Amino acid sequence: MIGKIFRNNLTSAILVIILILLAIVFYAAQIGHMEGPVLLQHLVNGISLGSLFALIAIGYTMVYTILSMINFAHSDIFMISLYFAFFSITVFNMPWVLALICVAAATPLVGLLIERLAYRPLRGAPKNSVLISAIGASFLLENAATYLFGGRPKAFPDIPALTRVISVGSVNFQVVSIVIPIITAAILVILINFIHHAKTGVAMRAVAKDYEIARVMGVNVNGIISLTFIIGSVLAAVGGFMWGAKYPGVTPMMGVMPGLKCFVAAVVGGIGDINGAVIGGFILGLGEVLIVALFPGISGYRDAFAFVVLIVILLVRPSGILGSPVAEKV
């Protein structure tokens, strides 16, 4: 019921959720005697983390919509993009904008490769086989990265243009914390427009519904699936780059936790729905940052927050905030 109202109006949904969160935050801040500027700072951080989660969660949800499978390797595509960023800046001395473009161009190749080698041969196979294949691809990427780049964390190069701290009044934040939500919003506008208005975007939704009939109508289904992986990887790459700028430190296993959280975000929002992935991403990102800020005593449990939300949502609304219950026809 609530989902219906939300589905029809993304902006109102986001607004309502943000308002609820704000109300909780201000109430808690009153109790905890937190000062306004400090709170604002945490909000900025929460929104930027939420944007990053949203970017990655979209990749999960898009692949799920088209192939009804969870692309477990997505988190490792994110990780690979961070290595790409690391090398393009440190080894090839690229300026950061150029590096961002290169990373966004190179990462999809990995996504495509995985689709070709690990998923396409299994088209028509039982879903569990594809799932196992996805887990295998994920382990392969993690171990390949460990083998190639070493397990020791690499320091993500400092990008002064992004890490510079600016102050507005008595609020201090890094440029990157503002850049992330702006880039995310821009990408979202483009993506949603593409999916709803471009011919290929319409075809993408058609394939998601019934790929066989889409094929009969002349849609190149394999091409659409590849495109889905490309879009997901580009988003993960942009997210990865920004992640590196904000939280420096690159390791082969670093994709696991953000990946899991973003998968949770996609499920919480309602898997199969891009708007849901965005809402889920913001709930988890804002929630995680604010809980730590408001209750420093339990900051050790910050990673648990996403999973608590997941459990609650699964109990209350198993199909997620925007998801509609799946009716299996017999």
Partner 1 sequence: MLNIEKLTVKYGGITALDSISFNVPEKRIVTLIGANGAGKSTTLRAIAALTKPSGGSVRYQGEDILGLDAQKVVAKGISLVPEGRRVFANLTVMENLRIGAYLRKDEEGIKKDRKWMFEMFPILEKRSWQPAGTLSGGEQQMLAVARALMSRPKLLMMDEPSLGLAPLVVKSIFEIIREINRNGVTILLIEQNANLALKTADIGYVLETGKITLSGAGTELLDDSHVKAAYLGAAKK
Query: Which residues of this protein are in contact with partner 1, per CB under 8 A?
Result: 199, 202-203, 205-206, 208-210, 212-220
Kindly report the CA angle at 225 between 221 and 228, in degrees rounded to 5?
Answer: 140
| Closer residue to partner 1 in complex, CB, 155/217 | 217
| Closer residue to partner 1 in complex, CB, 110/203 | 203
The dihedral built from the CA positions of residue 273, 275, 277 and 279, taken in this order, carries a sign that is negative
| Burial class of residue 247 (count of CB atoms within 10 Å of its CB; 0-12, 13-18, 19+) | middle
| Closer residue to partner 1 in complex, CB, 120/215 | 215
| Closer residue to partner 1 in complex, CB, 207/267 | 207
Q: Which residue has the tokens 């594809």?
A: 130
Residue 271 — φ and ψ, nearest 5°?
A: -65, 140
CB of 260 to partner 1, least distance (A): 28
Q: Which residue has the tokens 């997505």?
A: 74
CB of 196 to partner 1, least distance (A): 9
CB of 227 to partner 1, least distance (A): 15
| Closer residue to partner 1 in complex, CB, 116/209 | 209
| Closer residue to partner 1 in complex, CB, 215/317 | 215
CB of 67 to partner 1, least distance (A): 16
- What tokens were used for 268? 């919480």
CB of 230 to partner 1, least distance (A): 20
| Closer residue to partner 1 in complex, CB, 52/63 | 63
Kindly report the CA angle at 55 between 254 and 153, in degrees rounded to 5?
Answer: 15
Do 304 and 251 touch, CB atoms closer than 8 A?
A: no
CB of 225 to partner 1, least distance (A): 14
| Closer residue to partner 1 in complex, CB, 25/204 | 204
Within 10 Å of residue 111's Cβ, how many Cβ atoms? 27
CB of 329 to partner 1, least distance (A): 10
| Closer residue to partner 1 in complex, CB, 25/277 | 277
CB of 34 to partner 1, least distance (A): 44
CB of 324 to partner 1, least distance (A): 10
